[in-house]
Structure 1
């Protein structure tokens, strides 16, 4: 049956990973829809209007599911992680409050104006509402990532010995955490990669289905725009990921060592593309490896020194002892752990799956641009698989990346301040956590069926025929608002 800690961790993992399936799609697709809407306002070419309305439907389906699944996340901090909320809630809650009160209301308000604004407000103002919606999604990501970055590299706090809590000392420091400043662009580029890939995959499938019809140029345009967005964003992911790896090595050296299952401190440390080892990660046979690449990822030099797991175990224990001596017995309990090593196979393989799926996305985007040049239509049957896999690959790459980020930090909940084992709610029984996890899992499974069915239904319908939209001057101001999607 497991302990309440184990079940609480599984519940948080299931709900968070599920929710994050929708987040990058929302951020990325809002930008693409805003681009097509702007192009319609600039040119009044029918294909841009049709793509705006078509992709807008898919975006709205995803936004609605992301909204519903995101609400559960904040409930869990009080339900299963009350000791964590008590200890750092003063800091962790501030960026989440900004996300809810500022960013979410910005995106939801202007999305409502965009939905009901066709023909009711000037078209330039109408197009700007989708850009404002996109800005809201970006701000949401920034504030949420600021909260997560505090867990990776706690800054801007002071410990209050009277309350036994970490309290906010510098909100600007929390928002400008060095981990935040490299994580945010990495996640943002990853989201654009996802948005472009979803547009490219959907349009590629429709292009093959409707080849030879009047809709062919419309879908080819969408394929090429989606492929360009995904490919350019992928390059941004690579560059920002390289910088992020160096910051990660600086603030969490154990995570970088775990990513390679590197037990001994090594100069010119290699990066293994493929390895076979024991389940506990203590032994490994590297089949394909690139000399010096891990050193470059971590230090910027192919001959740089990367600390190994065995040495870092001692340094992390020494860090915990130093924190305990500084803040006293209240914190000493929070930083104590039997082992300061994450689960090595999980860190090792999620790191590679993240990169592998990302590079496959880049490959597919490049192939799609090549195959659709000069008005060509990809004919080979394997292109159907490219169309189906392209939206999935970057979404999964994002998910593997977050699993690596969170699992590679273990056993720390807040790095250097609190272990995961001490953050769980002490009064919640394992049975109660099981009940909530089963309820959430079944609810999310039902939502998944609804999401997939709606998404595929509207994909099969494709872009609707062009009908010249009503002008703002001709709109009936007294007509009731209608949801026309």
Structure 2
């Protein structure tokens, strides 16, 4: 159904972005002391830019599922499909810019908090301070700017959801009846059977968020047929509010740390460094629950307003085959995650290497090969 749409976007991602990432990644990983520092730094930048460009096409494809544009429907019956009529309208569909910005900022937060975590660990251990302290400050600057910009981006995204996917917005806030002065919940619980939401709310907050008017009406879930709106309302509500809570924690943490930096007391708070060590988990969780909100809130549609999830099931693939694939993918990626965490932890504890005097690949080879190590002594 969407092969023409996805094919164009993902082909562009593979040809332009993935090729750049994979090519320069080899230089980044294995180029220490094999290429000049300028070439190595250029390769690092190209991996970064390739990753950002890769996100463009992936998010464009997903955004088209949320707010389709630049297409027409051709064929009949089982042969029906969407074809592109305007490539740039497809790329710049109503939600793509907001969602891409939100995704990029989420990536910046994940990266900067990883750097903050590692260097906070070194600072607590009183190790590598000549590297850890300035690196911590750079990462804190990126995290502060990204978290504040994410707040603006999130507001813009919510405005777009209200305009283009009102049923999703209603599910995100557990709002059932169309009414003026709609409340915005800080936290709560949704009972989908009773169609009620209980919790701590800001009166008229949702109306103000969307229309900048505390008394403006907000469309509720009951304005849509049950088969045309999300069924797992409480899950969408909880994931959305977890994302918001994490975002506010990140803002508070970076603002407070920046204030201590300005006062010259940033590294005096050992308890704060411990918080930063574990804060690496927050952007990861926030990014995941944000995607859960987007995808579960889109239901019951694969392509919003065009193709239902129930109609997108392939009759040629058995349930057992799907289950086997899911189990296999879960096992493979769980294994890779465990291996990644083990190697990352080992690398962090080993500490930074002086790449001006040592080649990490050659040093590792010598340690693993006693003949090479013996030759190196001569």
Q: Deviations over 1:17-55 (max 9, x none)?
A: xxxxxxxxxxxxxxxxxxxxxxxxxxxxxxxxxxxxxxx
Root mean square deviation of aligned Cα: 2.3
SS of the equivalent of 1:289 reads strand
Q: Distance in 2 between matches of 1:416 and 1:103?
A: 30
The structural deviation recorded for 1:179 is 0.4
For structure 2, the residue ranges without an aligned partner over 5 or more in a row are 366-378
Confirm whether residue 176 of structure 1 aligns to residue 92 of structure 2. Answer: yes
The one of 298, 304, 314 aligned to 2:216: 304
Q: Distance in 1 between matches of 2:192 and 2:335?
A: 34
The structural deviation recorded for 1:277 is 4.2
Match of 1:246 in 2: 159
The structural deviation recorded for 1:112 is 1.8
The one of 392, 398, 411 aligned to 2:281: 392
Shifted more, 218-227 versus 410-419: the winner is 218-227
Matches within 5 A, 1:428-467: 428-465=317-354, 467=356
Match of 1:186 in 2: 102
Match of 2:81 in 1: 165
Confirm whether residue 377 of structure 1 aligns to residue 267 of structure 2. Answer: yes
For structure 1, the residue ranges without an aligned partner over 5 or more in a row are 1-86, 315-337, 471-480
The one of 400, 403, 408 aligned to 2:292: 403
The structural deviation recorded for 1:407 is 0.2
Equivalent residues of 1:152, 1:415 under 8 A apart: yes
Match of 1:236 in 2: 149
Matches within 5 A, 1:346-357: 346-357=235-246
After superposition, the Cα gap between the structure-2 partners of 1:380 and 1:118, relative to the gap in structure 1 and judged at 3 Å, is closer
Confirm whether residue 151 of structure 1 aligns to residue 41 of structure 2. Answer: no
After superposition, the Cα gap between the structure-2 partners of 1:100 and 1:254, relative to the gap in structure 1 and judged at 3 Å, is same
Q: Distance in 2 between matches of 1:247 and 1:133?
A: 31
The one of 21, 25, 29 aligned to 1:107: 21
Q: Distance in 2 between matches of 1:277 and 1:126?
A: 52
Q: Distance in 1 between matches of 2:284 and 2:106?
A: 9
Confirm whether residue 282 of structure 1 aligns to residue 195 of structure 2. Answer: yes
Equivalent residues of 2:239, 2:289 under 8 A apart: yes
The structural deviation recorded for 1:313 is 2.9
The structural deviation recorded for 1:232 is 0.6
Equivalent residues of 2:68, 2:304 under 8 A apart: yes
Q: Which has the higher contact order (CA 8 A, sep 6+)?
A: 1
Shifted more, 259-268 versus 361-370: the winner is 361-370
Equivalent residues of 1:227, 1:366 under 8 A apart: no
SS of the equivalent of 2:225 reads helix
Equivalent residues of 1:296, 1:302 under 8 A apart: yes
Match of 1:129 in 2: 43
Q: Deviations over 1:372-428 (max 9, x none)?
A: 5637534544642x1332111011101110000000010011001001111111122
After superposition, the Cα gap between the structure-2 partners of 1:161 and 1:276, relative to the gap in structure 1 and judged at 3 Å, is closer
Scaled by the length of structure 1, the TM-score of the pair is 0.70
Equivalent residues of 1:270, 1:295 under 8 A apart: yes
The one of 93, 104, 122 aligned to 1:206: 122
Q: Distance in 2 between matches of 1:280 and 1:344?
A: 10
The structural deviation recorded for 1:280 is 4.5
SS of the equivalent of 2:279 reads helix
After superposition, the Cα gap between the structure-2 partners of 1:148 and 1:300, relative to the gap in structure 1 and judged at 3 Å, is farther
SS of the equivalent of 1:360 reads helix
